[in-house]
Amino acid sequence: MKLKLKLKDKEYEVEISEKEEGVKVKVGEKEFIFEKEKKKEVSTPQLSFEKRSFSEKEIKAPIAGTVTEIFVQEGDVVKKGQKIILLSAMKMENEIISDSDGKVQKILVKKEQKVKEGEILVVLK
């Protein structure tokens, strides 16, 4: 397709053609090629989640350290924000608090026990 465009007092010859790779626009002696959009393949990631019991809540050690005090016993009812365990690490004491209400089902550590980061300390139900 050939066109003549007039802008202000200047006239331009424009040629537009469709090619396999896209659209070619020729203005005077200059050529411009507009590539066709390539279809993007969308891949759907396969997600898998580990099975979780929503009736149990695990309280884990945020850092490695030594259990210096346990403030609860099995069977105790705890409230969100209540101190559960005192963990010493690098000469600092860290209070491990409950992030939900529940009943202490199991205490998996003892006083003066060394624990690793991520280790389960207490299980709430």
pLDDT at 40 over 80: no
Please tell me whether residues 61 and 14 are part of one structural domain.
no
- Report pLDDT digits (tens) over 55-67: 788 889 989 999 9
Contact 96, 108 (CB under 8 A): no
Q: What is the domain extent for residue 108? A: 57-124
Q: Quick one: 82 and 119 in the same domain?
A: yes
| Cα gap 102→125, rounded to integer Å | 5
Coil, helix or strand at residue 107: strand
58-to-37, 68, 86, 95 alpha-carbon distances in Å: 50, 19, 16, 16
Whether residue 50 is contained in a domain is answered as no
Same domain, 71 and 101: yes
The DSSP result for 6-17, as a single string, is: EETTEEEEEEEE
CATH of residue 71's domain is 2.40.50.100
Asked whether residue 41 is domain-assigned, the answer is: no
114 or 5, which is more confident?
Answer: 114
42-101, pLDDT tens digit by residue? 666 666 666 655 578 888 998 999 999 999 999 999 998 999 999 998 888 888 888 888
Domain count, the chain: 2
Residue with the larger pLDDT of the pair 42 and 14? 14
Q: What is the pLDDT of residue 53?
A: 56
Q: Is residue 117 a part of any domain in this protein? A: yes
pLDDT of 83: 92
42 assigned to some structural domain: no
Instruction: Let me know if residue 44 belongs to a domain.
Output: no
| Percent of the chain whose predicted confidence (pLDDT) is above 70 | 86
Does residue 7 surpass a pLDDT of 60? yes
User: 109 and 65, same structural domain?
Assistant: yes
* Mean pLDDT along residues 16-27: 84
Number of H helices and E strands in the chain, helices first, is 0, 12
Report long-range pairs for 82-91 (Cβ below 8 Å, ≥24 apart): 84/59, 84/121, 84/122, 85/59, 85/109, 85/121, 85/122, 87/61, 87/62, 87/63, 87/115, 89/63, 89/64, 89/65, 90/65
